[in-house]
């Protein structure tokens, strides 16, 4: 075992869905920095192009494509196109999510369907289509984004939390089903990370400060602090890791309560 090369990704092809901003952008840049050829996919083509440009400016290999993960046929076509162009697909990362923060009893059917369709069904489309391609080639790493909300909740997070818990269970099922064919499936559970999804909280100082204080580091996380987990799960360093969720949450899920007792 050459431990120095365990995290290197030369010769690999990675599809990063949601790569136009936030954690997806940082993931694309980190994978490319470790040697992967990255296909940056996003519903906003211009955002994907900007990320691909950042990768190329740093000396990496990347291309930008448009992709709406709510369109299962489009996801299938994009995966097939990637494999056709590059001959393989080694890693698939899916990050897109939305949240409607309101009490469950106030949710409308339209809001429920919008959150569930993108967070759960859209994630399913990516995992299923990439999983099929990887199963055919006999190797690959599926990486889905869950959340601390898969484990802990607060008022207003019920539907979002349900989708994130569901993502973990899909990953576990895929790990069981595809493991014999050489494919790994894992989830990452970020804590509070400064991204476009959490931007509304930043505009409310008390809320923003309270979330930062819940971390044992007393601050929010950055997208690049999550990207390392993506590289790990894409690399040979995690060759015996499957069916699990890796929390990157600054200790949020480890620390009980909101009060430090006098000791």
- Measured in residues, the chain has a length of 263
Cα–Cα distances in Å, from 136 out to 42, 100, 140, 169, 181? Answer: 25, 38, 10, 23, 8
Residues 6+ apart with CB under 8 A from 203: none
Distance separating alpha carbons of residues 212 and 129, to the nearest angstrom: 37
Separation of CA 100 from chain center:
19
Token code pair at residue 147: 């959340």
Pair 56, 33: CB distance under 8 Å: no
User: In the chain, what are the domains?
Assistant: 9-247 (3.40.50.720)
For tokens 């740093």, name the residue.
58
CB atoms within 10 A of CB 113: 13
Q: Which of 3, 160, 208, 211 is catalytic?
A: 160
Distance separating alpha carbons of residues 261 and 104, to the nearest angstrom: 33
Nearest to 222 by CA among 258, 249, 252: 249
Distance separating alpha carbons of residues 170 and 27, to the nearest angstrom: 21
Distance separating alpha carbons of residues 104 and 74, to the nearest angstrom: 32
140-145 and 61-66 as β-strands: parallel, antiparallel, unpaired?
unpaired
| pLDDT at residue 146, as a whole number | 98
Which residues is 175 bridged to in the sheet?
none
Pair 170, 247: CB distance under 8 Å: no
Distance separating alpha carbons of residues 14 and 11, to the nearest angstrom: 10
Backbone angles phi and psi of 107, in degrees to 5: -65, 140
Token code pair at residue 72: 């299962």
User: What is this structure's pTM?
Assistant: 0.96
Distance separating alpha carbons of residues 60 and 145, to the nearest angstrom: 24
pLDDT tens for each residue of the chain, 263 residues long: 889 999 999 999 999 999 999 999 999 999 999 999 999 999 999 999 999 999 999 999 999 999 999 999 999 999 999 999 999 999 999 999 999 999 999 999 999 999 999 999 999 999 999 999 999 999 999 999 999 999 999 999 999 999 999 999 999 999 999 999 999 999 999 999 998 878 788 889 899 999 999 999 999 999 999 999 999 999 999 999 999 999 999 999 999 876 676 77
Residues 6+ apart with CB under 8 A from 169: none
CB atoms within 10 A of CB 229: 21
Collapse the DSSP code of 143 into the 3-class scheme (helix H, G, I; strand E, B; otherwise coil) and give the result.
strand
Distance separating alpha carbons of residues 103 and 230, to the nearest angstrom: 32
User: Is residue 160 among the annotated active site residues?
Assistant: yes
């Amino acid at each position: 075992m050459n431990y120095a090369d365990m995290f290197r990704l030369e010769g690999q092809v990675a599809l990063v869905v949601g790569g136009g901003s936030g954690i997806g952008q940082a993931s694309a840049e980190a994978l490319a920095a470790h040697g992967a050829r990255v296909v940056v996919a996003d519903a906003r083509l211009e955002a994907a192009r900007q990320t691909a440009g950042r990768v190329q400016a740093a000396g990496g290999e990347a291309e930008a494509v448009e992709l709406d993960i709510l369109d299962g046929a489009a996801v299938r076509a994009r995966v097939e196109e990637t494999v056709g162009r590059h001959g393989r697909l080694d890693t698939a990362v899916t990050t897109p999510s939305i949240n409607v923060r309101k009490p469950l009893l106030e949710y409308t059917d339209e809001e429920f369907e919008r959150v569930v369709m993108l967070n759960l069904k859209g994630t399913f489309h990516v995992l299923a289509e990439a999983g099929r391609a990887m199963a055919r080639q006999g190797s690959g790493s599926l990486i889905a984004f869950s959340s601390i909300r898969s484990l802990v909740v607060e008022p207003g997070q019920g539907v979002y939390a349900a989708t994130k818990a569901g993502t973990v269970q899909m990953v576990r099922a895929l790990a069981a089903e595809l493991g014999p064919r050489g494919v790994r499936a894992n989830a990452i559970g970020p804590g509070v990370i400064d991204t476009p999804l959490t931007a509304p909280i930043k505009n409310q100082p008390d809320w923003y400060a309270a979330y930062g204080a819940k971390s044992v580091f007393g601050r929010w996380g950055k997208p690049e602090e999550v990207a390392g987990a993506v590289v790990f799960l894409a690399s040979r360093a995690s060759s015996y890791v499957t069916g699990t969720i890796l929390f990157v949450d600054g200790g949020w899920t480890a620390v009980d309560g909101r009060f430090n007792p006098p000791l």
